[in-house]
Amino acid sequence: AAGVIQSPRHLIKEKRETATLKCYPIPRHDTVYWYQQGPGQDPQFLISFYEKMQSDKGSIPDRFSAQQFSDYHSELNMSSLELGDSALYFCASSSQTSGSNKQYFGPGTRLTVT
């Protein structure tokens, strides 16, 4: 079965640079979520989109923005990168019509800021 695809899998950037992470949800899933997991920490919710509209917002810095496109893929844009942004970034998708909160996670993008 198709899973959530994230690209790139690894990314190295320098401080003050920008980065764009991409997420391709499971086909027919209408909701996308972004989570950030710092070293030794639990995943923290950043933002979610349902049918291309922002549906919930967590602890996402103002330097970050995200959107969901007409094909339901999503991109997380990160500007003015800081060393503390080094983390694993997970995307998850779900189907609201399924009636449950079952989220399917991608393999993550490991971002290293030097």
Partner 1 sequence: DAKTTQPPSMDCAEGRAANLPCNHSTISGNEYVYWYRQIHSQGPQYIIHGLKNNETNEMASLIITEDRKSSTLILPHATLRDTAVYYCIVRVDNNAGNMLTFGGGTRLMVKP
Which residues bind to partner 1, rule: CB under 8 A?
A: 4, 31, 33, 35, 42-45, 48, 50, 55-56, 58, 88, 90, 92, 94, 96, 99-108
If the CB atoms of residues 17 and 56 are measured against partner 1, the closer one turns out to be 56
Closest approach of Cβ 34 to partner 1, in Å? 10
Is 86:112 a contact under the CB 8 Å cutoff? Answer: yes
Contact at 8 Å (CB) between 31 and 49? yes
Q: Least CB distance from residue 28 to partner 1, whole Å?
A: 16
CB of 70 to partner 1, least distance (A): 20
Tell which residue, 56, 67, 62, 55, has the closest CA to residue 85: 62
In the complex with partner 1, which residue's Cβ is closer, 78 or 91?
91
CB 78 within 8 A of CB 19: yes
Q: Is the Cβ–Cβ distance between 89 and 78 less than 8 Å?
A: no
Residue 75 CB, shortest distance to partner 1, in Å, is 18
